[in-house]
A and B are shown apart, each in its own frame.
Chain A
Amino acid sequence: KQEVTQIPAALSVPEGENLVLNCSFTDSAIYNLQWFRQDPGKGLTSLLLIQSSQREQTSGRLNASLDKSSGRSTLYIAASQPGDSATYLCAVLNYGGATNKLIFGTGTLLAVQP
Chain B
Amino acid sequence: EAGVTQSPTHLIKTRGQQATLRCSPISGHTSVYWYQQALGLGLQFLLWYDEGEERNRGNFPPRFSGRQFPNYSSELNVNALELEDSALYLCASRQGAREQYFGPGTRLTVT
Contact = CB atoms under 8 A, between A and B. Distances in A.
27 contacts: A34-B99, A36-B102, A41-B105, A41-B107, A42-B104, A42-B105, A43-B6, A43-B102, A43-B104, A43-B105, A44-B90, A46-B99, A46-B100, A46-B101, A46-B102, A49-B99, A91-B43, A98-B55, A100-B31, A100-B56, A101-B33, A101-B48, A102-B33, A102-B43, A102-B92, A102-B100, A104-B43
- Which 4 A-B residue pairs are closest in the complex by CB-CB distance? A44-B102, A104-B43, A101-B45, A43-B104
Contacts of B33: 101-102
Interface residues of A, number: 24
Overall SS of chain A's interface: strand
Overall SS of chain B's interface: strand
